[in-house]
Amino acid sequence: MTHDYKRNGTATLFAALNAVDGKVISLCQDRHRHQEWIKFLRLLDDATPADKQLHLIADNYATHKHPKVQRWLSRHPQFHIHFTPTSSSWLNMVERFFRDLTHNRLKRGVFRDVEELILAIDEYVDRHNEKPEPFIWTARANDILEKVKRARKALDNAQSVWRTTLASKGAIRAVASQTLLS
């Protein structure tokens, strides 16, 4: 952001990506509460044949688990919600669409108000849906698991250094406090 950046408002984008054909169903809202989530679920319900099962992948945001959402889902058994683990947004392919939207349309964009932002998002989704293509996950499972192992090892090493540092600071504080008391 530049020094003269001014935020003119925000919008929440709810989106569902059809993994088979790449089409996106989206809805922009002012907020991200359970009411807006249910409104999006209704949109998906209206846009999908009744005999189709819908498997939605969502993050663990409380809105997605609200009791009113749970009641709505219990009345719509064709909906199946799967939650990604914390910090695993990469498991949700719609995140790839969000990245493309951000990179290709929103980044460095100038929007004087929320309506302009929503119009830009809607136009991008419409253009995407004119020639949709499914996202193909090209990474092999073994490559992903190796990357996870390397990340875990790096995290364990960092935690070990952190514990050692804290332990030595604790020892210094203990010595300092003994000195002050004597």
Q: 144 and 81, same structural domain?
A: no
User: Which domain CATH number covers 78?
Assistant: 3.30.420.10
- Give residue 55's domain range: 12-130
Other beta carbons within 10 angstroms of residue 16's beta carbon come to 22
Distance CA 137, CA 147 (A): 15
Mean pLDDT by 10 residues, the chain (182 residues): 69 93 95 95 95 92 94 96 84 90 91 92 97 85 82 83 70 49 39
Secondary structure element (H or E) that encloses residue 78, with its range? none
Q: 152 and 124, same structural domain?
A: no
Would 52 be classed as within a structural domain? Answer: yes
Is the backbone of residue 9 left (phi > 0), alpha (psi -120 to 50) or beta? left
Contact assessment for residue 18 and residue 125, using Cβ atoms and an 8 Å cutoff: no
Q: 117 and 78, same structural domain?
A: yes
Burial-class residue 40 by CB neighbours within 10 Å (0-12, 13-18, 19+): buried
Q: Domain tally for the chain?
A: 2
Q: List, for residues 100-115, the tens digit of each pLDDT value.
A: 999 999 998 888 899 9
CA nearest to 11, candidates 119, 124, 84, 96: 119
How many Cα neighbours within 13 Å face the side chain of 111?
A: 19
Task: Name residues whose C-beta falls within 8 Å of residue 83's C-beta, 6 or more positions apart in sequence.
Answer: 57, 58, 59, 60, 64
Q: 120 and 73, same structural domain?
A: yes
User: φ and ψ at 152, to 5 degrees?
Assistant: -65, -40
Q: 110 and 149, same structural domain?
A: no
Task: Name residues whose C-beta falls within 8 Å of residue 79's C-beta, 6 or more positions apart in sequence.
Answer: 41, 44, 45, 54, 56, 73
Q: List, for residues 52-86, the tens digit of each pLDDT value.
A: 999 999 988 899 999 999 999 999 999 999 998 88
Q: 163 and 126, same structural domain?
A: no
Would 5 be classed as within a structural domain? Answer: no
Q: 103 and 17, same structural domain?
A: yes
Tell me, what's the pLDDT at 27? 96
Q: 124 and 86, same structural domain?
A: yes
User: φ and ψ at 82, to 5 degrees?
Assistant: -120, 130
